[in-house]
């Protein structure tokens, strides 16, 4: 028996919104420690990894490890229908060929229940080595979203150059060029709006904006996003998910290899 209940059901809605256009089918791995998912995007360029800790749920029970293969687009379509205040519960028997999703609107005498068929998916778990990154940038996630969106008006790829005092995002296209400079912010009175840069050695790396724009759909999950960069290693774009007490309950991480030509500039 598997059962996971999330009072703040909108977190599940937002996770699905953040991955559904990137990954069409994937398996959730459920164990006593929580639920996780790892999948390449449909064009096999980027990788997405989601983790939700058992602690992050309001009720969590997993008697036996389970792999729940699903069409994420369909799942997202159904879960999108849940109200933002709905409590969402996911249930599955041990020999599941379907899961049950239950939406409970607050203070309502009504229940929404969906049964969704599971799929057998070939899945290959990619070990992602722990890396010491040359640069780690934390910035407001809405700012990262705007930068990716606006620079896409000009060019197809963005070059990120980080130094001690600031980070620059730049692009070039037929029309001209665009670049955004963010300075490290001084104090920490508004941590959500802070820009912080930890740097071992400066880097200049380029990435396809198309994928970064996909990643930025996770913006609603966290006020801050972190970018971890090293030469010849995929960029990690991470959104840490917090509960009401600001404890970490999970994350969504996207991995994208640098563009080779421009990374060598």
Pick one of 1, 77, 192, 202: the residue that binds a second copy (CB under 8 A). Answer: 77
Calpha distance 238→200 (Å, rounded): 19
Minimum CB distance to a second copy smaller for 66 or for 252? 66
Minimum separation from the CB atom of position 145 to a second copy (A) = 12
Tell me how far apart the terminal alpha carbons of the chain are, to the nearest angstrom. 54
Is 177 among the residues that bind a second copy (CB under 8 A)?
A: yes
Minimum CB distance to a second copy smaller for 113 or for 201? 113
Minimum separation from the CB atom of position 196 to a second copy (A) = 12
Is 115 among the residues that bind a second copy (CB under 8 A)?
A: yes
| Window 24-53: residues binding a second copy (CB under 8 A) | none
Is 142 among the residues that bind a second copy (CB under 8 A)?
A: no
Ramachandran category for residue 135: left, alpha or beta (phi over 0 → left; psi -120 to 50 → alpha):
beta
Minimum separation from the CB atom of position 77 to a second copy (A) = 5
Minimum separation from the CB atom of position 260 to a second copy (A) = 25
Pick one of 40, 180, 220, 240: the residue that binds a second copy (CB under 8 A). Answer: 180
> The tokens of 141 are what?
């996630």
Is 257 among the residues that bind a second copy (CB under 8 A)?
A: no
Minimum separation from the CB atom of position 110 to a second copy (A) = 5
Calpha distance 24→33 (Å, rounded): 25
Q: How many CB atoms lie within 10 A of CB 176?
A: 9
CA angle, 249 then 233 then 126, to 5°: 55
Q: How many CB atoms lie within 10 A of CB 33?
A: 14
**Phi, psi (degrees; rounded to nearest 5) at 144:** -60, -40
For residue 35, what is the enclosing H or E element? Answer: strand 34-40
Is 179 among the residues that bind a second copy (CB under 8 A)?
A: yes
Pick one of 185, 196, 240, 259: the residue that binds a second copy (CB under 8 A). Answer: 185
Among 98, 96, 132, smallest CA distance to 113 is for 98
Size of the site for a second copy (CB under 8 A): 33
Is 149 among the residues that bind a second copy (CB under 8 A)?
A: yes
Is 178 among the residues that bind a second copy (CB under 8 A)?
A: yes
Is 164 among the residues that bind a second copy (CB under 8 A)?
A: no
What sign results for the dihedral spanned by CA atoms 53, 55, 60, 65?
positive
Burial of 262 (0-12, 13-18, 19+ CB in 10 A): middle
Q: How many CB atoms lie within 10 A of CB 153?
A: 11
Is 114 among the residues that bind a second copy (CB under 8 A)?
A: yes
Calpha distance 121→31 (Å, rounded): 18
Minimum separation from the CB atom of position 195 to a second copy (A) = 7
Binding segment for a second copy (CB under 8 A), chosen from 7-15, 109-117, 124-132, 235-243, is 109-117
Q: Which residues bind a second copy (CB under 8 A)?
A: 71, 74, 77-78, 81, 98, 109-117, 143, 146, 149-150, 153-154, 175-185, 195
């Amino acid at each position: 028996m598997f059962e996971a209940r999330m009072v703040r059901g909108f977190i599940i809605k937002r996770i699905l919104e953040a991955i559904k256009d990137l990954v069409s089918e994937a398996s959730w791995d459920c164990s006593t420690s929580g639920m996780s998912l790892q999948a390449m995007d449909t064009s096999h360029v980027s990788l997405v990894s989601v983790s939700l800790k058992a602690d992050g749920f309001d009720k969590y029970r997993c008697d036996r490890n389970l792999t729940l293969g699903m069409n994420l687009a369909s799942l997202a379509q159904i879960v999108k229908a849940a109200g933002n205040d709905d409590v969402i519960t996911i249930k599955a028997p041990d020999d599941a060929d379907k899961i049950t999703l239950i939406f409970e609107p607050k203070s309502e005498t009504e229940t929404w229940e969906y049964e969704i068929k599971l799929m057998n998916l070939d899945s290959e778990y990619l070990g992602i080595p722990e890396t010491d990154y040359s640069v780690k940038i934390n910035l407001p996630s809405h700012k990262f979203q705007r930068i990716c969106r606006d620079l896409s008006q000009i060019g197809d790829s963005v070059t990120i150059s980080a130094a001690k005092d600031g980070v620059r995002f730049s692009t070039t296209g037929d029309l001209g060029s665009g670049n955004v400079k963010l300075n490290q912010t001084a104090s920490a009175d508004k941590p959500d709006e802070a820009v912080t840069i930890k740097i071992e050695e400066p880097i200049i790396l380029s990435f396809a904006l198309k994928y970064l724009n996909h990643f930025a759909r996770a913006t609603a999950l966290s006020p801050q996003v972190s970018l971890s960069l090293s030469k010849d290693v995929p960029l990690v774009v991470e959104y840490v998910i917090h509960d009401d007490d600001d404890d970490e309950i999970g994350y969504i991480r996207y991995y994208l290899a640098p563009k080779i030509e421009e990374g060598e500039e």
